[in-house]
Amino acid sequence: MPRQLPKYCRAIKSRGRLYHYFIHNRRIVARFQDEPGTAAFHQQYAKLLRTTVEPQIETAAPEGSVGWLIASYKRSPAFLSKGAATQVSYLHELDRLKPIHKFRAEDIKRRHINAIRNMLMDRPRTQELFGQVVSLLWNYGIEECDFECVNPARRMKRAGKAKAYVSWTEAEMRLFEASAPPSHLMTAYMIARYTGPRRTDNVDLRRNAYDGRGLYIKGSKSDTPNYVRAHDTLKAYLDTLPPTLTIIADELGRPIRPERLSKDMRRHLNQIGLPHLHLHGLRHAAGAALADAGCSSKEIAAVLGHKTLQMVEKYTKGAEQRRLADQAIVKLQKAKTRPGRLKQPGPEAR
């Protein structure tokens, strides 16, 4: 099955090589300098959308309409301050509002948003993201454009529960390591297990991101890279890798696309009897391992690159619960062993 490209992006083969172009109104606007899925690609794509597509949308949509609101939001600091990958994700969700572009934004009701949202019933994660983005859009309209209306997407109830990624267990990680995976899968696994980056951040790691002691991990949702010291096991592995442009590379030393990494990992996990696992589950495993080791929430956030401690709890609540439960039982046992605390059974109980 061919890899899905974002809207306006087309792949054209020339002289045996595949090139990617931004095409709008049947006209080639620009050629992408980087591969789809990389942070640099997202940045160029978002810029081309703002400079090529949005001016036409704003011209076609009357002031105060949904289309006008979207165009205004895309130029705002609230949108531009987000990471490139987040911008592209938001743009994709906002594009779903195209059927109501010409209607007054203040006239849109929850039933109109639900009609579009219900088309995503089989994709609960996308459905939830769509509701969040639409809510942010109308919040912007109310706060910055003086709209006098109720946010039609405010506190929308989740129609379906998104399936959480399963954290890898120690036994499952040992099984994976013993299965002799291809080198690019093993490298992605080692980095994800000990530092927990997201898939795109993992494949984007250049060779110079590793200085022999730790990794500079540039998150797609942050502006500056985090420096994470390499675990001794990870360091020993990275020191054996051949010199390539990116740390994760194929058998010919070429960079790996995020989509190919996921596809290859899916195939290998299925083959070794672990179809319920995903690469992202190693991010959960990394957070849980740090929590089990007694790391604070701030320490875990420094490794995983989270901006809020609330996100840290998503990965560590299981480990935290186990540790607190252990402490509670230890206290209970100590209380029962103290002399004079327990009553002796009476004659009727003997």
134-150 tens-digit pLDDT: 999 999 999 999 999 99
Categorize the per-residue pLDDT at 105 as very low, low, confident or very high, splitting at 50, 70 and 90.
very high
Q: What share of the chain is helix, strand, coil (3-state, %, to 5)?
A: 55, 10, 35
| Number of helical (H) and strand (E) elements in the chain, helices listed first | 15, 5
CA 246 to chain CA centroid, Å, is 20
Q: Check the CA dihedral 58-61-67-68 and report its sign.
A: positive
Would you state the structure tokens that stand for residue 12, as one six-digit string?
């054209």
Q: Which of 47-51, 81-85, 94-98, 275-279 has the lowest mean pLDDT?
A: 81-85
Tokens of 315: 């990965």
Q: Of 37-51, 218-232, 238-252, which one has max mean pLDDT?
A: 238-252
Checking DSSP bridges between strand 17-24 and strand 226-229, what pairing results, if any? unpaired
C-alpha dist (Å) from residue 292 to 33, 114, 286, 323, 332 = 43, 42, 10, 7, 21
| Residue range 116-121: mean pLDDT, rounded | 89
Per-residue tokens: 192: 């994800």
Six-digit token pair at 168?
């890898």
pLDDT of 248 reads 95
The pLDDT assigned to 345 comes to 56
CA–CA gap between residue 190 and residue 116 (Å, rounded): 41
Over range 115-134, report the average pLDDT. Answer: 88
Q: Which of 95, 112, 90 is nearest to 103 (CA)?
A: 112
User: From residue 167, how far is each of 68, 185, 233, 286, 328 by CA, in Å?
Assistant: 43, 17, 20, 9, 25
pLDDT confidence tier of residue 1, bands split at 50, 70 and 90 = very low
Antiparallel, parallel or unpaired: β 214-217 and 226-229: antiparallel
How many C-beta neighbours within 10 Å does residue 107 have?
A: 13
Beta bridge mates, 23: 28
Highest mean pLDDT among 196-200, 303-307, 314-318: 196-200
* pLDDT band for position 116 (cuts 50, 70, 90): very high
In the chain, where do the E strands start and end?
9-14, 17-24, 27-31, 214-217, 226-229
Which tops the pLDDT comparison, 186 or 16? 186
Residues 6 or more apart whose Cβ sits within 8 Å of residue 338? none
* pLDDT score of 25: 79
Between 118 and 311, residue with greater pLDDT: 118
Count the Cβ atoms, other than its own, within 10 Å of residue 36.
18
- For residue 56, the model assigns a pLDDT of 56
40 pLDDT higher than 90:
no
Confidence band, pLDDT 50/70/90 cuts, at residue 163: low
Backbone angles phi, psi at 209, to 5 degrees: -75, -15
Q: Residue 193 pLDDT more than 50?
A: yes
Contacts of 116 (CB under 8 A, 6+ apart): 96, 97, 99, 100, 130
DSSP 23: E
Question: Would the pLDDT of 157 be above 60?
Answer: yes
SS3 68: helix
14 φ, ψ to 5°? -140, 125
Name the residue among 254, 229, 234 with its Cα closest to residue 244.
254
Question: What secondary structure letter does DSSP report for 99?
Answer: G
